[in-house]
């Protein structure tokens, strides 16, 4: 029986060793990648080896098609693409050209919503997954106010 652990948006998981009950806080971002559920092997300091299933807490994802400009300061890139889905926790961007990016890079995002006011949004994100032209990013916070918050919740 594999225990399922819900992973919060900050990608921290509390994993309890079934043998000695030691709780370890672990950053599991690199396991999660693009998948929302993954089974991992853990090795406790007591020597016990066990498996747990990680499951990302799901936020409602909205499929969208919004032009976006991504600035990657670390590389001096200014990339254009399309936001293909959007949620409280982050978004997915399909870039128009493939460039070398790395997980963990900070990205400055600027995009326009297709709401009534064509609201212009600027946000920071961190790259959590890369698959060819598709880049998954997480926002710094999952609390969005103003136009973006309204859009995610009600649009």
**Using CB under 5 A as the criterion, which residues of the chain lie in contact with Zn ion when the complex forms?**
17, 19-20, 22, 44, 46, 48
Strand, coil or helix: 55 = strand
The rounded distance, in Å, linking the Cα atoms of 13 and 7 is 5
Longest CA–CA separation in the chain, Å:
58
Contact between 7 and 54 (Cβ < 8 Å):
yes
Q: Using the minimum distance from each CB to Zn ion, give the nearer residue, 50 or 77.
A: 50
30-55 burial, b at 16+ Cβ within 10 Å, e below that, comes to eebeeeeeeebebebeeeeebebebb
Task: Report, in Å, the least distance between residue 5 CB and Zn ion.
Answer: 15
Q: Using the minimum distance from each CB to Zn ion, give the nearer residue, 18 or 33.
A: 18
Task: Report, in Å, the least distance between residue 52 CB and Zn ion.
Answer: 13
Q: Using the minimum distance from each CB to Zn ion, give the nearer residue, 45 or 143.
A: 45
Q: Using the minimum distance from each CB to Zn ion, give the nearer residue, 19 or 96.
A: 19
Task: Report, in Å, the least distance between residue 54 CB and Zn ion.
Answer: 18
Task: Report, in Å, the least distance between residue 146 CB and Zn ion.
Answer: 46
**Residues sharing a CB contact under 8 Å with residue 80, sequence separation 6 or more, in sequence order:** 67, 68, 69, 70, 95, 96
Task: Report, in Å, the least distance between residue 19 CB and Zn ion.
Answer: 5
Which helix (H) or strand (E) segment holds residue 31: the answer is: helix 29-32
């Amino acid at each position: 029986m594999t225990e399922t652990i819900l992973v919060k948006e900050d990608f921290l998981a509390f994993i309890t060793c079934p043998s000695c009950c030691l709780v370890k806080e672990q950053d599991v971002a690199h396991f999660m990648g693009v998948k929302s559920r993954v089974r991992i092997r853990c090795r406790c300091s007591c020597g016990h080896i066990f498996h747990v299933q990680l499951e990302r807490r799901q936020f409602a994802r909205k499929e969208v098609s919004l032009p976006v400009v991504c600035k990657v300061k670390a590389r001096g890139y200014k990339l254009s693409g399309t936001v293909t889905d959007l949620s409280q926790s982050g978004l997915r961007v399909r870039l128009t050209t493939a460039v070398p990016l790395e997980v963990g890079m900070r990205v400055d995002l600027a995009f326009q919503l297709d709401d009534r006011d064509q609201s212009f949004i600027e946000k920071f994100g961190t790259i959590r997954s890369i698959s060819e032209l598709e880049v998954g990013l997480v926002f710094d916070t999952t609390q969005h106010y103003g136009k973006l918050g309204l859009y995610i919740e009600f649009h």
